[in-house]
Amino acid sequence: MDMQTRPVIVQMDGSILLDIHNGHADEARLVLAKFAELEKSPDHFHTYRVTALSLWNAAAAGHDSMEILEQLRGLSRYEVPSAIARFIRETMDRYGILELRRGEEGLVLASADELTLTEIVHHKTIAPLVRRMLSGTEVEVPLLSRGTVKVALTKLGYPVKDLAGYTAGTPLSFRIVPELPDGRSFALRHYQLQAADAFHQGGGLAGGSGVLTLPCGAGKTIIGLRAMELLQTSTLILAANITAARQWIRELLEKTTLREDQVAEYSGEHKDTAQITVATYQILSYRPRGKDEFPHLSLLSGHNWGLIVYDEVHLLPAPVFRITAEIQARRRLGLTATLVREDGREDEVFSLIGPKKFDAPWKELEAEGWIATAVCMEVRIELTDEERRRYAVAEQREKARIAAEASAKEEAVLALMERHEGELILVIGQYLDQLEKIAMRTGAPLITGAMRQQERERLYHAFRTGEISSLIVSKVANFSIDLPDASVAIQVSGAFGSRQEEAQRLGRIMRPKEEGMYAHFYTIVAKETKDQEFALSRQRFLTEQGYEYEIADLEELLSGEVTV
């Protein structure tokens, strides 16, 4: 393409501007997603930034600096600044300069670059971990310091390639079945096979640890089953909550040759273990009041697991991070829809679970029909005069809540539910008072964290079977709820500007629909408030995935000026 018609402008500060109205914008977005992070997504130019972590993830996924620079230059309207080209080359080329290997008495940290290794081992964070110099290119570090060394080196800017190998774990023979109990045939999709292969890498030393990112509804659980089938070893699966844990157990028993006595639940209700054990993050991070110890963390290290699966790895709690640093000899698979963490610990996910090995773009899977075609809309409402007076004098945090709970949002929910009558609708929010009011006005059941698990399961089942057509759900709906036929999600309030939450909520409606049927994702936002600011931040996730979203006032919807 001619330089002046290209969609990208690379700036001296490392930011990259993408002209979203350019005819090649979609092509450019797919290229940028490999090695850059989206920062801003206003109406005309989206801003990406090249970071060390984004470049290391690209390198770990098999891309090299020459390929990235060639593609970037092919999209750039002007010459790529030499300083940025140098940063990309030097940063990506640092991945793999250092390697960890198994030695006779510990681990060997090695590098062909003698000067680089000398400089690193004298750094204050690495020096205490060095047992002895083996040669000019090799030093010995303690076996149990594997995770600590990896985190420290990543923070120094030298991510290490871990080739020290893994514990085999207790052997377990099983396979995925080609036919389900109800007689339906079952086969893995092409991208599910690719994702599992990218993690496994033929069983070699380069495989066995890493993160796979795929949309909710794309079958991350199936990819986990395939990874387990490839490894044939005892496995611990960590899930976001008890609903997700039991979904894993159902899939294991339905889609594999595993028997019920080979699969166990370890949760607040059951403390069983088997060759395949499914536990929750909540139980592992439970600590009795007044105690320093986490009594259930021993589940991670006290059994001969060959694989640990971290479902929704972006939710990994701090205690599990800590023990994960100590169990680096076990294979680790992270599954998530987004690597964004609200606590900024993406670099620790990279170091301790592994780099991103596979990323399936949402829009590509949508185009192939594996997930639903989504229509995203922001519906703006006005504060009442009284709400605006309270908002004007409130503290910053209170402003956010006043805007989030604006009374006009209830009218918007009712209007949208009426427009989608006959479809299965989820209304999702942050604040229980608000959700209780919406439940009273709509007559729809409300599910919160306080509800007993048995009652939640009953309502989810009623929703799946069409017995009830709408559910009001709190934050418990953010994660791993299998509601395959939901086609409308109405978001009334959320966790500030959380892209992570946006990914999960959109994912609730992304399973494929009947031909010609769309998934509709609405966010109701109070105009000219903190609510609108947070919505802009949350929508960065939608933009990253290639989705466009329409903005409309409630009045326009009610008058029929905007169709949905």
Mark whether 220 and 342 lie in a shared domain. Answer: yes
Domain end residue (candidates: 57, 72, 94): 94
Q: Give, in order, the Cα–Cα distances in Å from 170 to each of 167, 174, 329.
A: 9, 13, 14
Q: Assign 342 a pLDDT band (cuts: 50, 70, 90).
A: low
Q: Assign 561 a pLDDT band (cuts: 50, 70, 90).
A: low
Domain at 104, CATH number: 3.30.70
Mark whether 411 and 426 lie in a shared domain. Answer: yes
Classify residue 168: in a domain, yes or no: no
Classify residue 171: in a domain, yes or no: no
Classify residue 480: in a domain, yes or no: yes
Mark whether 210 and 108 lie in a shared domain. Answer: no
- Is 103's pLDDT higher than 70? yes
Mark whether 208 and 347 lie in a shared domain. Answer: yes
Mark whether 344 and 223 lie in a shared domain. Answer: yes
Classify residue 299: in a domain, yes or no: yes
Classify residue 354: in a domain, yes or no: yes
CB 339 within 8 A of CB 346: yes
* CA atoms within a 13 Å half-sphere pointing along the CA-CB vector of 134: 18
Global pTM exceeds 0.85: no
Domain count of the fold of the chain: 4
Q: Assign 498 a pLDDT band (cuts: 50, 70, 90).
A: low
Range 30-57 average pLDDT: 85
Q: Which of 36-50, 166-180, 370-384, 385-399 has the lowest mean pLDDT?
A: 36-50
Domain end residue (candidates: 73, 94, 115): 94
Burial call 481-509: b when 16+ CB within 10 Å, e when fewer: bbbeebbbbbbbbbebbbbbbbbbbbbbb
Classify residue 320: in a domain, yes or no: yes
Condensed to tens digits (0 to 9), the pLDDT of residues 352-384 reads: 999 999 988 777 888 888 877 878 888 999 999
Tokens of 284: 């592992």
In the chain, how many H helices and how many E strands?
22, 23
pLDDT confidence of residue 410: 93
Mark whether 487 and 378 lie in a shared domain. Answer: yes
Mark whether 239 and 130 lie in a shared domain. Answer: no
Residues 309 and 65: their CA atoms lie apart, in Å, by 30
Domain at 516, CATH number: 3.40.50.300
Condensed to tens digits (0 to 9), the pLDDT of residues 246-287 reads: 989 999 999 999 999 999 999 988 899 999 999 999 898 888
Mark whether 373 and 351 lie in a shared domain. Answer: no
Range 451-455 average pLDDT: 85
- Is 544's pLDDT higher than 70? no
- Is 406's pLDDT higher than 60? yes
Mark whether 205 and 297 lie in a shared domain. Answer: yes
Mark whether 7 and 76 lie in a shared domain. Answer: yes
Classify residue 169: in a domain, yes or no: no
Tokens of 187: 């086969």
Q: Could you tell me the residue range of the domain that residue 35 belongs to?
A: 3-94
Condensed to tens digits (0 to 9), the pLDDT of residues 198-250 reads: 999 988 888 889 999 888 778 899 999 999 999 999 999 999 888 889 989 99
Q: Assign 482 a pLDDT band (cuts: 50, 70, 90).
A: low
Mark whether 140 and 48 lie in a shared domain. Answer: no
Note every long-range contact of 268-273, with CB atoms under 8 Å and residues 24 or more positions apart, other chains counting: 268/242, 269/242, 269/453, 273/299, 273/303
Tokens of 472: 């009001």
Classify residue 155: in a domain, yes or no: yes
Domain end residue (candidates: 337, 360, 383): 360
Residues 190 and 214: their CA atoms lie apart, in Å, by 13
356: left (phi over 0), alpha (psi -120 to 50) or beta: beta
Mark whether 21 and 132 lie in a shared domain. Answer: no
